[in-house]
Amino acid sequence: MHAEDQDSAEPNRWEKPDRWHIGIIGGSGLADGVGLDDAQEITVKSPFGEPSGPVTVGKLGGLRFTFLARHGAGHRIPPNEINYRANIDVLKRCGVTDVLALSAIGSLREELAPGHFVAVDQFIDRTVHRGHSFFGPGLVAHVSLADPICPSLAELAAGAAEQVGATVHRGGCYLAMEGPQFSTRAESKMYRQWGADVIGMTAMPEARLAREAELPYALLGMVTDYDSWREEEEGVDIAEILEVMHANAATARDTVRALAAALPERRPANPIDRALDYALITAPAGRDRQLMARLDAVAGRVLG
């Protein structure tokens, strides 16, 4: 927590301040083009390994923002090799209060056209080779993930995108696949039958870990293509995806600026801020001290 973000009365060190500090997870060029005041690039270490790269911190409209490029500088890390635990841990160590993810997604519905934005509200997780939890043997925890998205933050993000001219769909189920290959036609059709609306490779376990870290999380997906369920069309073409991504880049930057302007002056308390209140199952006497030390940022509020 930074000194200028504290009120005159010193709060509990583990309680969030009533000032916003938004963490943005997105593309590598997003922070450079958004127009941050007092921008600084900082390397932050995590006990969970190497994050995707340094963070860029600064202010927009007087509010603190921290940016992290999910795939690293120059998009060097594939989605199945991202250290999601380190990324969320680093944002927590920076004092972030809430996280907005900006991600490219494929569409599984005709009405969700390339160029549109989707404020996701549910997930189906098909990833298999990633660190899905900060907790483990020696310190077991179970957080509620029935509603994985923070509705108030999602609405603020959707409204900001609309304000800058984007076509926004509120609500949608995101199918998280392992990648890095795109889905087969059979898989794409199956995902549609399951009720998924969009597909991507990065939102899980990102959203799971944000909940364990007591960080309200929202995802604004940018539709780049129709997935391979349309029989009359060729499969997913990376060149077309990149073209739409570049076209959407300015809208993404404008959305972040509009979000900064739309946030209420004071950040209200959020139930997700206390997601770990009843989540720890392991008795204090049986807890692994080394794991507890690694969780000093993520779970320090409940570990003491």
- pLDDT at residue 247 in the model: 75
52-79: pLDDT as tens digits: 999 999 999 999 999 999 999 989 999 9
* Whole-prediction pTM: 0.92
Q: Which of 89, 121, 197, 227 is catalytic?
A: 227
User: Does residue 6 register a pLDDT over 60?
Assistant: no
Q: How confident is the model at residue 14 (pLDDT cuts 50, 70, 90)?
A: low
Cα distance between residue 186 and residue 122, in whole Å: 22
- pLDDT at residue 32 in the model: 81
Q: Nearest to residue 272, comparing CAs of 203, 218, 205?
A: 218
Cα distance between residue 213 and residue 271, in whole Å: 13
Percent of the chain exceeding pLDDT 70 equals 94
Q: Which has more confidence, 243 or 37?
A: 37
Average pLDDT in the 134-153 region?
98
> Catalytic site residue 225?
yes
Q: Which CATH architecture group holds 3-303?
A: 3-Layer(aba) Sandwich (3.40)
User: Does residue 100 register a pLDDT over 70?
Assistant: yes
- pLDDT at residue 17 in the model: 82
CB 235 within 8 A of CB 228: yes
> Catalytic site residue 227?
yes
Burial class (CB in 10 A: 0-12, 13-18, 19+), 69: buried
- pLDDT at residue 33 in the model: 81
Which residue's structure tokens are 């293509």?
Answer: 225
Cα distance between residue 132 and residue 20, in whole Å: 27
239-266: pLDDT as tens digits: 777 777 777 788 999 999 999 999 999 9
Cα distance between residue 13 and residue 228, in whole Å: 49
Q: Which of 121, 225, 254, 273 is catalytic?
A: 225
